[in-house]
Every structure is written in structure tokens, then in C-alpha cells.
Amino acid sequence: MRTETPPTVRLEDYRPSDHLIDRVELDVRLDPHDTRVTATLALRPNPAGRAGASLVLDGDNLTLLALELDGQALASDAVRADASGLTLHTPPPRPFTLRIETRLDPTANTRLMGLYRSGGVYCTQCEADGFRRITYFLDRPDVLSVYTTRIEAEREAAPVLLGNGNPVEAGTVPGTDRHYAVWHDPLPKPAYLFALVGGRLDRVAKSFTTMEGRAVEIAVYVEPGKADRAAYALDAVERSMAWDETAFGRAYDLDVFNVVAVSDFNMGAMENKGLNIFNDKYVLASPETATDADYAAIEAIIAHEYFHNWSGNRVTCRDWFQLCLKEGLTVFRDQEFSSDMRSRPVHRIAEVRNLRARQFPEDAGPLAHPVRPKQYAEINNFYTATVYEKGAEIVRMLRTLIGETAFRAGMDRYFADNDGTAATVEDFLAAFAAVTGRDLSRFAEWYERPGTPRVAVSGSYDAAARTYRLTFRQTRPGAGADAPPLVIPIDLGLVGADGPLDGARAERIENGVFVLETAEDAVTFENVAAEPVPSLFRAFSAPIRVESTLDAAARLTLLRHDPDSFNRWEAAQRIALGLMTAQVRSEPAAHAGADDFVAALGVFLDAEALRDPAFAAQVLALPSEGDLADEIGTEIDPDAIFRARRDLRRRLGTGLRARLLSLREALAEPAGTPFSPDAAAAGRRALRNAALDLIAAADPEAGTALAQAQIAQATNMTDRLAGLATLALLPGEAREAALSAFAERYAGEPLVLDKWFAIQAMIPEDGTVARIRRLQGHPAFAMTNPNRVRSLVGSFSLANPTQFNRADGTGYALVAETVLALDGTNPQVAARLMTAFGPWRRLEPGRRAAAETALRRIAATPGLSRDVTDIGTRSLAG
């Protein structure tokens, strides 16, 4: 493990590699403890590099067995090699071949980077810099090579052998119990997209014919005995392929596309060319084991990794500073796919909830960074919400700015101009500038500046002139006085007491969008008969914070009449935030308006609940404790926030009780109805379970009875888990009995037990820290499995604000202990756990001091990994 102080890598220091590798031939002889890798590299000097430069290959924890240059052994003084790298001091000034043999121990590789074993299955994870743990290499994304891989293993242990590209040969190794397979990927790729898999796996498959007439064999490989849970993932691959052809004109380019599910994986999935490797939680699904949220996540992540075939693989990133170029763009693409597969308004609300829960706090804390960072110490720590989610929002703004037709033309131009290359953000924007003739240099500022912009909005109505003027003023926290203003597209309209004011007109608004390009600007609407309510940033047209003077009455008008579903939901959220914030701050009018809010929600449910249950469920779901903390901003008291949200939930449950009970009855599925994960059925379940939550908040006794009955009668995991989650918030024997019964029922289902761990980790009670310590000793919990760690300790630190932020510091201590225990074996997971401390400076003084103590305890520990050192250093800086 690398424990040295991480060097700072800077974007401004980028220079092309001095050498290129045109072809890679790998011979991988798999063995649990003694895998041998022979890499034959066809190298040449890079004309864009430094003439006569030494060849410096990356390595990490490698054992070198043999090295040859053009078939000849090298003199000892011609090369320097150790576990962390190989330098050929004077390489030939012409094309040459290097043959390198290394030895690996996949079983001992607990970092889950490079080649490792998961449940007896050999697999790889090479992004960002894992290939250097397999062989010495130019392990950087701008070195693209054509790979041919021979994989050999014991047939009994690994009957399935998979690699990148297309299969070209397979056979038995004479005189042994071993067999081999050869795979060839004809398309150049960087080393981070290399993959292989070897193991005992079940397979489900189907054929797909591309729009170009290519027959593609799609297959999903899973743990033996679980093939029946791979059907939804297989269907999601097929739908993704068809959608990408229609939406972006992108066809698949190989003869096979394989997905493999493994149980030990640091991330969600990996887009290796033709061989996607997935965390099994994003592949395996059945009505008995997976919730509606699981099905939706499988669909989205399958799509995300497949879409990388073009936005990431065919066009990759020049360096890791351009990570947003593949990740932000591909998140946008998978969001569009999911919106088309499901409800676009509901999915947009979910996207914004996620952005505000993860990225806004990141942008406001010590780990803030631009979407395209200017420097990093450990690249693994920059797979963040800022790169992914905010990166996607920038792409969405670009589409809003130039229009859908021009956006599609720009995407076509980007793929055509950069196919087979390693591109930059500048290359991406140049494609859109070329097709529109627009100067996008100002828009590019979104990639360069950290922080969430604020836009203050004020309106004034002139009754005599029948005009309404909206004034916008943008600011950016932390931006210097000379920082240029951002280009912000504002999708907007006006709403009156009876509905949208379609007759109002304003100059400088195109297709409903006003573009704010200066620090302050205004737009005037004409033909406005009465004072309107502005509907601002429809569909959340820019990732900003809006500062508005709208009162609750105006927001209720938006809730009733705005044609934009997102802003209807946003109106309810803002009213709820206002009520809860007032209580936290002990303002005199803390409860004023609560009854009006309850009444308005009642009217909304009467009109909308059965017509669009999924949207109604979103409207009923109050802002989270994290949302409220983000609204308050400083001197945060998580206990006061918890009480305010609890009290408002009780008010809603009490005031809406009759309607909620009626809805639960109306939305119940008739006995014998087959389960479907489609959007309509999932929406009905979502509203029914939202009603259960509010009823239980207002009347724990009634909630307990309803939850128990729902668990007993449930025919799917969504309803069973919702009942258990409701009981988890209601202390008593019923809760503990339900938790025990659930654990017994699913004792052999690790992914379901993850849900059981998570529900208990999120119990907002004094005994939760002790409960987690007991659960860490549970037979199903393993610190070596990232899913188990995330479900228990990750859920606690990120989704239980009162107990993680306990005033006595025991929540921080628990997470700090876990970080330190993990760091020696899996520093990536340890570092990600540590990011939960991100908002610590915004807490009230007592908790702030306790969090700092925990952070400094971690930082002072000798021998920390680069991953954890980097997070600790940045968290404590300033």
C-alpha cells in the first residue's frame, strides 16, 4: 500500500507521454496466490513527447520476474525496477518491444484494485490506476493501445474466462487440468479500461441487432444459482442499446457485450470495453429481494456503464482532470434514459434531491473543488458528486442554452471529431461552438469554479402599465471581486391566481429561457393583467441556490397552478423548509402557516394522488434533515433539526390522516396481482408507503399495527422493507421482533441483509452507536466487503445526522475507528467513509470540536494511505 505523502498533480503541468504503446499482448496465467502475467508491449517514441527521454513505467506492489528488450535481456545498469516502477534509462529512438513478466497474489489483494478474487472469482478493477498493479505500464488515460489477452486457469475453478473485445480462440492446455481463452479488442483503449474475469458463473443471454445490422450477443454472468435474478439487468442492457441508437445515434461496435456481477467491489460498476464488471447489488433483482429503488438503480447503472462505450471508451479523457468529460456527460445520458423509461418530472425531482443532498454540501465544505479540478493528490478521491452530478448539470444547462436540436448536432460533432482519441473539456465545447457559431468560453467557467452560485430574485408589478419586472443578481461564495459572472440559463414563466399567464410576453426570452450573463440583469413582461407569481428555474434549469422573497401564499399558488411539475414540488419543499427553519431558530411565528400547508396538501392529494401517485409521493416527502441543515448553513444543531422535522411530520400525519388511510386502501393491489417494477406500479407503492410513514409519525400505535400487517401480507421487498423501516422508528418489542424475523428470513441473502444493517444504522436514538458496535460482530458483517461496510457504517455516517453528530463525540469516534481499521486493507473505502466529516465546520461549537478531534486522531496515525491522508489534509485545511 502506498503510504508516502501524496505528491500534488497539477493540470497546468500536463504534457504528453514521451512514449506510446501501440499494441499490448497479455498472457495471464491465473492462480489464487501465484498468478503470472507476461506483457509484451509494442512501444515507440511519441513525436509530441521529449526526444531521448527515459521510459518510465508505473508499477504498484509488483514483483518483477523477467524483462527483455526486443528479445534480449537487459544489463543491470540499463534499467531500474522495484515494486513501484520500472525505468529504462536509454530506450531505443525507434519502435521496440518490451517483454515483462510479473507475479501477483490475487487472493491477498484486499484493496480490490488491479487483479483480485471475489468469492472465488478472479476479476479486475483498473480505474483510475489499477493496471499498474498487474504489470508495469504507462498507466495514464492518454496512452491508447490495442489489446490481445490470453487468459489461462484451472478449468474446474474457472470454467468461464472473459476479456475485453471479442473472443478469438479457446482450448485446453495439453497435459494439464487447465484451459485458456484469447480475447482481442480491435479498438484502442487506455489501460484503465482493461478487464478480465475468471470463475464459476451462471449465464443468461440474448441477441441484439444494432441499427447497423451487427448481431451482438448480450450476456450477464452471476454467481451460480442466481441466474433468475439477472433478467432485469439483461433487459436493461437491451433497452440501453436501443435507446442510445435513437437518442444519440450511437451503435455498439463489438460482437459481444458482457456484464459480470461480483460481490466485492469498491464502486457501483466499471465500463471496461465490452466487459462491464458490476457490484452485484446493481445486477441481481427479484421481487422477493429487491425494492423498486433497486430496480430503478439497476436500470440506471446498467445504462450508465453501457453509455460509456461512446462517452468514455470510444472518446476517453486526456488526463484525470477531464474526468467530468466522461462521467458528467454519461450521468446526463443515463438520466435522460431513465427519464424516458419512467416519469420525467418524478425522475428530475429525484436527480435534484440527490444533487442537493450530496453535491451542495460538498461545494460548501473543505472538500469543495471545481468540476474540472486544477490539482489533486489522490485521484481516487475525485470520483465525487461534483464531478458526476454537477458535471451532468453543466451538460443539461448547455442543452437548455442552445436547444435540443443544436445539442444533438453538437454531440454528433463531438463523437465524430474525437472518436478514438483522449479528449478535453475544450474539445467537447468546441463541437457545440462549431455547430452553433456561439462563443462558449464564458460558459466554460462552470467547469473551473467551485461553489454553488446564488441568484437573488426580486419582482415588481406596475398595475398601470400592466408590466412585471424581474431583477436577477448572481453571486458566488468565495469568488473574487474580479471573477467573471457565470452564464446561467433561467427557464421561467408567470403564474396567476387561476393558472399560467400564457399571454404575458417579454423580450430576450427564447423558448421560455432567459440567460443571465452579467452580475445583475432584469427582464420585463408586458400584458400582465394582475400581479403574478414568478415560476423560476423550471425543471431546475441551473445548479444554483435561489434567494427569493416569495411568501407562503405565493408558493401555494405555484403548488396549485404551475404547469412545471418540478416547481410545484419545489413550492411544497420551500414552504416546509420555512416552517422547520422557523422552529429550529425559535422564531415567534414558528408554527404560523402550518395549518394552511396541511390544508393545501389535502387539496393537492384529492386532485392529484390517484392520477399521479409517484409525483404525489414526492410532494408528501418532506425535505431531509440534511436539506434543513443546508438551509440553516451555520451553527447547526442536528438534534434541533431532527425535532423540527419530526414535529412537521406529525402535523401532516394528523391533519391528513383520513386521506392517507383512504389512499392506502385505494392503492392496495388486489390479491394475486403479479409484481411489476414499472414506473406506474412503483409509484402506487411509493405513495402508499409515504402515507404509512406519516400515519406512524402522528400515531405510533396505529402505525405499528399497519406496519406489522403490511410486513405479514407483503408480496414484494418494497412493501416489506417499508413496513420494517416504519417500525424501526418506533421503539418497542414490535420493532425488535420484526428485525429478528427479517434477519432470520433472509439469513442467506447478503444484499438483503445490507438493507437490514442500514435500517438499524439509521435509527435516530441514543442506543444506535452501541447497536452498530454489536452488529459489527454479526456473522453476516465483514469489514472486507465494501457493501457491508457501506450499509452499516456508511448509512450511519451519511443518513443518521443526530447520532453521527452526537454531542458526546461517540458517533465520530465510531466512524474514525472504522476508517483506521479499513485503511490498511482498503484505503478507497476508508477515504470515502471519511468524507462524512465534510460539513464539520458548519456545526455548533461543541460538535465542531468533537468532529475536529476525531479528524485529528485519524490524521495523526502513522502509516496512513495516500487516500486517507488526502481527505484528512483537505478536511482540516483552513
C-alpha to C-alpha distance for 223 and 202, rounded to whole angstroms:
6
As a whole number, mean pLDDT of residues 36-61 equals 98
* Joined grid coordinates for residue 786: 465494501
Q: SS in 3 state form for 379-426? A: HHHHCCHHHHHHHHHHHHHHHHHHCHHHHHHHHHHHHHHHCCEEECHH
Residue with cell 423548509: 577
The model's confidence at residue 533, banded by pLDDT at 50, 70 and 90, is very high
Active-site entry in 25, 127, 223, 305: 305
Q: State CA 408 to chain mean position distance.
A: 24
- pLDDT tens profile 239-262: 999 999 999 999 999 999 999 999
Please spell the DSSP secondary structure of 583-648, one letter per residue.
Answer: HHTT-TTTTTTHHHHHHHHHHHHHHHTTT-HHHHHHHHSPPPHHHHHHHH-SSB-HHHHHHHHHHH
- pLDDT tens profile 61-96: 999 999 999 999 999 999 999 999 999 999 999 999
As a whole number, mean pLDDT of residues 264-285 equals 97
- Report which of 642, 550, 651 is spatially closest to residue 592, judged by C-alpha positions: 651
Query: Buried (b) or exposed (e) across 38-49, using 16+ Cβ within 10 A?
Result: bbbbbbebbeee
- Residue 482 is predicted with a pLDDT of 80
* Joined grid coordinates for residue 535: 415560476
- pLDDT tens profile 859-873: 999 999 999 999 999
Please spell the DSSP secondary structure of 675-735, one letter per residue.
Answer: P--SHHHHHHHHHHHHHHHHHHHH-HHHHHHHHHHHHHH-SSHHHHHHHHHHHHTS-SHHH
DSSP state of 262: E
- pLDDT tens profile 153-200: 999 999 999 999 999 999 999 999 999 999 999 999 999 999 999 999
- Residue 587 is predicted with a pLDDT of 79
β-strands 545-548, 454-462: how paired? parallel
Contact of 209 with 216, CB cutoff 8 Å: yes
The model's confidence at residue 389, banded by pLDDT at 50, 70 and 90, is very high
How far apart, in Å, do the first and last CA atoms of the chain sit? 28
The identity of residue 763, as a single letter, is I
* Joined grid coordinates for residue 19: 512514449
The model's confidence at residue 590, banded by pLDDT at 50, 70 and 90, is low
Question: In sequence order, which residues have a C-beta less than 8 Å from that of residue 804 and are 6 or more positions away?
Answer: 796, 797, 798, 811, 812, 815, 836
As a whole number, mean pLDDT of residues 475-486 equals 83
C-alpha to C-alpha distance for 300 and 305, rounded to whole angstroms:
9
The model's confidence at residue 591, banded by pLDDT at 50, 70 and 90, is confident
- Res 2 pLDDT > 80: no
Q: In terms of C-beta distances under 8 Å and separation of at least 24 residues, what long-range contacts does 511-514 make, across chains too?
A: 511/403, 512/538, 513/400, 513/401, 513/489, 513/541, 514/472, 514/489, 514/490
Sheet holding 202-209, edge to edge: 202-209, 215-222, 256-262, 275-279, 269-270
Asked about 305 being catalytic, the answer comes back as: yes
pTM, full prediction? 0.98
- Residue 4 is predicted with a pLDDT of 58
- Residue 589 is predicted with a pLDDT of 67
**How many other C-beta atoms can be found within 10 angstroms of the C-beta atom of residue 143?**
21
- Res 485 pLDDT > 60: yes
Mean pLDDT of the chain: 97
Q: What's the Cα-to-Cα distance from 865 to each of 9, 474, 786, 870, rounded to whole Å?
A: 17, 40, 17, 8
- Res 368 pLDDT > 60: yes
- Residue 760 is predicted with a pLDDT of 98
Contact of 702 with 672, CB cutoff 8 Å: no
Question: In sequence order, which residues have a C-beta less than 8 Å from that of residue 847 and are 6 or more positions away?
Answer: 636, 637, 638, 805, 807, 809, 840
- pLDDT tens profile 672-689: 999 999 999 999 999 999
Contact of 90 with 54, CB cutoff 8 Å: yes
Residue with cell 409484481: 675
The model's confidence at residue 592, banded by pLDDT at 50, 70 and 90, is confident
- pLDDT tens profile 776-811: 999 999 999 999 999 999 999 999 999 999 999 999
The answer to whether the bond into 236 is cis (omega within 30° of 0) is no
Residue 341 belongs to what H/E stretch? helix 323-341
- pLDDT tens profile 405-441: 999 999 999 999 999 999 999 999 999 999 999 999 9
The model's confidence at residue 878, banded by pLDDT at 50, 70 and 90, is low
- Residue 7 is predicted with a pLDDT of 85
Percentage of the chain lying above the pLDDT 90 cut: 97
- Res 215 pLDDT > 80: yes
